Amino acid sequence: MTPSTPAITSRLPQVGTTIFTTMSALAVQCRAVNLGQGFPDFGCDPRLVDAVAEAMRQGHNQYPPMTGVAALREAVAGKIAALYGHGYDAQAEITITAGATQALLTAMLAAVQPGDEVIVLDPCYDSYVPAIELAGATAVRVPLTPGSFRPDFDRIGAAIGPRTRLIVINSPHNPSGTVWSEAEMLRLQELLAPTNVLVLSDEVYEHMVYDGLAHCSVSRYPGLAARSFVVSSFGKTFHVTGWKVGTVAAPAALTAEFRKVHQFNVFTVNTPMQVGLARYLQDPAPYLGLPAFYQTKRDFFRAGLQSSRLRLLDCQGTYFQSVDISAVTTLPEVDFCEWLTREIGVAAIPTSAFYGDGFEQGIVRFCFAKQEATLVQALERLQKL
């Protein structure tokens, strides 16, 4: 008999190769400057590497506690208390995860049941909806205001129904760089107060907020903190995206359910990196200095684009700069990004890829978390537009 592979019914039939993988592969093929996928092209603080290496040498190479190394959970709780004024119990309310994407999926699997509805605000990061579908729930997409990417609370309120279990929010926002204001956080708190809707707050860019603005973590607001899973990322904060170490802070009752899933889909996160991160966090200067570090890069990149025909949109946070391409082309965003990579030698990401319906508004996203030499090379090529 001829060997054959039995067919399986896909849990994610609509999912293919992500736009990030596609554009990065095209950038390599065309030898383009890759400002598409969101990761730095520079190294982290050598002191952090030294701390991890020392942890290895000291024998921290076996399983850590399922919930995370105690010293790291305590450091995270202390950081949140200092920055946002909320006291999480390190033992019962902080969990170390294998990056933010795992944290998002685990929270979804823990909190959402088949038949539930989950509100996501379009445009959104591409892992949200697959996580909802893997939990057996239905994603209800509510668009942010086109152009400004601010929340439309009338539309959010209208989307809340008897089956709504959770809403996913993201500030600072990928892809737009919008940062939610205190007024918007208070409005969300007021809107959800009479409901049993949970919040999954993606705050991986919490330390990348510019021009004197403050990051309004849901942890700051008691009515939101009491119903929220708060996700953060050491990879984003310390320029080590490949380490895949993140955190989830949540009330004890939510954390207990989160950990039931976590222990079976990950169990533990690599020990020496946790020990090294705990030691590195004893000095708050690296993350407190991050806004100024990335604002310098943002301002350099924006200044270099001023003389191009790309129209700069506001960038209040993250390490992404969105631009309006309508003065340059009438091509759809995906086609323009492919053309830009092949003909100009710079890779970008179409904003339409973050919408469920591929909504077109002539906006693409660049990542400026790059060395100055990389940005200079990209800017020289973009001047051809």
What's the confidence (pLDDT) of residue 96?
Answer: 98
> pLDDT digit string (tens) for 299-327?
999 999 999 999 999 999 999 999 999 99
Closest by CA to 286, choosing from 61, 37, 94, 49, is: 49
DSSP assignment of 28-95 equals: HHHT-EE-SS---SS---HHHHHHHHHHHHTT--S---TT--HHHHHHHHHHHHHHH-----HHHHEE
> pLDDT digit string (tens) for 67-123?
999 999 999 999 999 999 999 999 999 999 999 999 999 999 999 999 999 999 999
Sign (positive/negative) of CA torsion 280, 283, 284, 285? negative
Average confidence score pLDDT of the chain: 97
What's the confidence (pLDDT) of residue 21?
Answer: 87
Res. 15: pLDDT tops 90? no
What's the confidence (pLDDT) of residue 285?
Answer: 97
The whole-angstrom separation of Cα 167 and Cα 157 is 11
> pLDDT digit string (tens) for 263-309?
999 999 999 999 999 999 999 999 999 999 999 999 999 999 999 99
Q: Does domain 19-44+290-382 correspond to CATH entry 3.40.50.1100? A: no
Give Cα 309 distance to the centre of its chain.
29
Res. 19: pLDDT tops 90? no
Element of type H or E holding 27: helix 19-30
Tokens of 11: 């849990």
Strands (E), 316-362: 320-324, 346-347, 349-350
- Domain-wise residue ranges, the chain: 19-44+290-382, 46-286
What's the confidence (pLDDT) of residue 16?
Answer: 80
Return the CATH architecture of domain 46-286: 3-Layer(aba) Sandwich (3.40)
Closest by CA to 348, choosing from 99, 43, 30, is: 30
The whole-angstrom separation of Cα 326 and Cα 77 is 45
Contact 351, 363 (CB under 8 A): yes
Question: CB 155: neighbour CB atoms within 10 A?
Answer: 14
Q: Which residues contact 158 (CB under 8 A, 6 or more apart)?
A: none
Classified as helix, coil or strand, 11 is: coil
Identify any residues that bridge with 122 across adjacent strands, giving them in sequence order: 143
What's the confidence (pLDDT) of residue 97?
Answer: 98
Residue 66's identity, in one-letter code, is M
Question: Would 19-44+290-382 and 46-286 be classified into the same CATH topology?
Answer: no
The whole-angstrom separation of Cα 249 and Cα 178 is 23
Classified as helix, coil or strand, 232 is: strand
Phi-psi region of 56 (alpha: psi -120 to 50; beta: other; left: phi over 0): alpha
* C-alpha neighbours within 13 Å on the C-beta side of residue 164: 23
Residue 103's identity, in one-letter code, is A
